[in-house]
Amino acid sequence: MDIEDPGGRMGICVRCVVTLMIGPPIGREAEMNEIVKSQQSITIRLDRYPVAVYIASLGSENSREGVKWALDLAAAVLSSGTCDAFTLDWSQLRYQHIAALKSKLISEDPTPRRSQPYSLSTTNLVLSTVKGVMKHCKKLKLTTPEDLNDIMEEKAVRGQALPSGRALTPQEVRALFNACGDGISGIRDRAVLAILLGAGLRRSELSALDRRDWHESDLLIVVRRGKGRKAREVPVGKRVESILSGWLEIRGDEPGALITSVRSGMLARMMRLGDTGIYFVLERRSKDAGIPKVSPHDCRRTYITNLLLNGADLAIAAKLAGHASVETTAIYDRRGIDSMREAAEGLMLPI
C-alpha cells in the first residue's frame, strides 16, 4: 500500500518500492492461546524516507517493533496526535522540538489519552530512537550537520526508578514446572521454561533456535541470532539436558526449529513457536500454577540473579546473557536485602 498525505500537511508522498513487515499479532490458538502473527505490509521508498531506512537497518523483529512504537509515540506528541512515524516530516525537526518532546513525555499529561508521565526508560528510549532517525535524515541530506549536532546534544533524562519485573522464587519455579503436566504441550512448555530459566535466553533467541543449536554432548546451546547480531554459546546444567531430551523424544531429531508449536494436542513439526507464543506459554502456565503473571524477561532476570547468587561475577554473567556491558547486566540483578546484609556482615574491619 502507499502512504500519502492527501492534505499536503507534511509535504510527503511515499510510493511502493520496498516492503517492511510490521504490525501487532491478531489471532489466538484455541488450545495453547498462542498468537499467530499476522503482518501488515507497508511499502515505502527507502531512498527518501529516514524512518524506513532506520527500521530496515535494525537486526531483529523485536527491535523494529519497539522502535516503530517509540517513533509513533514521538510523532503523536510532536504533532498533537495528527501524525505517526510514517507521516511526520522528520526533516523539519530541530533542537527545540526534541527539547519540547522530552519535557512533554515527563509531564503529567504527555498525550490526550495519558494522564501520567512516561517512565525514565521509556522517555530515553523515545529520545534515542528520534536521534536515530535524525542521523539517517543527515545521511539522506534531509537535515544539516549543524542541526543534527544540536539535536544530539540533548541529554537523556537523569534519575533512577525502581527496577521493573522480578526474579522468581524457587517455589514459583517449581510451581511453573509442575503446572505443565505430562501431555505433548506440557513437555514442550517444560522445554521452554528450561531454556528461559536455565540458559537465560531472550524469547526471540529461543524462538530462533534450531535442532543443530542444541549440543547435548557438550551441554551447550548455541545462540546464532542474538541481539545486535552477536552469537554466543551458553552452557547449561544436567537438569536442562534431561528436560530437552524428553522433548526431543517427541519432536524427533530432524533438522528445523528446536521448539515447535503444538495444535490441538498434536505436534506441528514445521511450525516454529514464535515470540508471542512463548509469551502466552508463560502466561498460561503462571495462571495454572496460581502465581503472579510471569514474563519471558522475568525468567531472564531470574537466570542472571541466580548466576550472581551462585558466585558468578558480573563479567561472566554478562557474557552468558549476551550483554555488551556489565552495567546492563547489573540492572537484572534482583538479589534482595538479605544478600546485601550478608555481604555487609562479611566485611572485616581492621580493628
Give CA–CA dist 24/62, Å, rounded: 11
**Most confident option among 16-30, 76-90, 317-331:** 76-90
Q: Is residue 350 part of a domain?
A: no
**Total count of domains within the chain:** 2
Same domain? For 131 and 272 the reply is: no
pLDDT of residue 7: 35
| 154 vs 224: CA distance, rounded Å | 36
CATH number assigned to the domain comprising residue 264: 1.10.443.10
Q: Which of 152, 183, 206 is the last residue of a domain?
A: 152
Catalytic (active site) residue 97: no
Q: Which of 124-138, 151-165, 184-198, 229-243 has the lowest mean pLDDT?
A: 151-165
Q: Reply yes or no on whether 227 is catalytic.
A: yes
Res. 283 pLDDT band, cuts 50 70 90: very high
Q: How far is CA 338 from the centre of its chain?
A: 30
DSSP calls for 272-300: E--HHHHHHHHHHHHHHHTS----HHHHH
Domain end: 121, 152, 183, which one? 152
Residue 296: predicted pLDDT: 93
Catalytic residue among 64, 300, 301, 334: 300
Is the predicted pLDDT of residue 197 greater than 80, yes or no?
Answer: yes
Domain that holds residue 144: 3-152
Give CA 278 to chain center in angstroms.
Answer: 12
Q: Which one from 102, 190, 323, 334 is the annotated catalytic residue?
A: 323
The verdict on 144 and 76 lying in the same domain is yes
Residue 202 is among the residues annotated as catalytic for this protein: yes
Does some domain include residue 132? yes
Structural domain contains residue 330: yes
Residues 112 and 202 in one domain: no
Task: Examine the domain organization and report whether 217 and 308 are in the same domain.
Answer: yes
Mean pLDDT on 156-176: 83
- Whether residues 115 and 212 fall in one domain: no
Residues 139 and 198 in one domain: no
Boundary of a domain, candidates 120, 152, 184? 152
In this structure, of 1-5, 70-74, 258-262, the range with the lowest mean pLDDT score is 1-5
Catalytic residue among 68, 188, 202, 334: 202
Q: What would the mean pLDDT of 26-52 be, rounded to a whole number?
A: 48
Residue 130 and residue 198 share a domain: no
Give the model's confidence band at 346: pLDDT under 50 very low, under 70 low, under 90 confident, else very high: low
Beta-bridge mates of residue 21: 41
- Same domain for 23 and 143? yes
For residue 107, being part of any structural domain is answered with yes
Judged against a pLDDT cut of 90, whether residue 63 lies above it is answered with no
pLDDT surpassing 60 at residue 303:
yes
Statement to judge: residues 65 and 186 lie in one domain:
no
Q: What integer pLDDT is reported at residue 347 of this predicted model?
A: 60
Residue whose cell numbers read 512504537:
69
Residues 175 and 292: beta-carbon distance below 8 Å = no
| Residue 348 lies inside a defined structural domain of this protein | no
- Annotated catalytic residue: which of 131, 297, 319, 335? 297
Indicate whether 255 and 186 sit together in one domain.
Answer: yes
* Residues 176 and 141 occupy one common structural domain: no
Q: Is residue 160 part of a domain?
A: no
What values do phi and psi take at 36, rounded to 5? -100, 115
Of 64, 102, 332, 334, catalytic: 332
Per the domain annotation, does 301 fall within a domain?
Answer: yes
Exactly one of 166, 227, 232, 319 is catalytic; which is it?
Answer: 227
Q: Is 297 among the catalytic positions?
A: yes
Domain match, 26 and 147 both: yes
Mean pLDDT of the region 89-104:
93
pLDDT grade, residue 225 (50/70/90)? confident
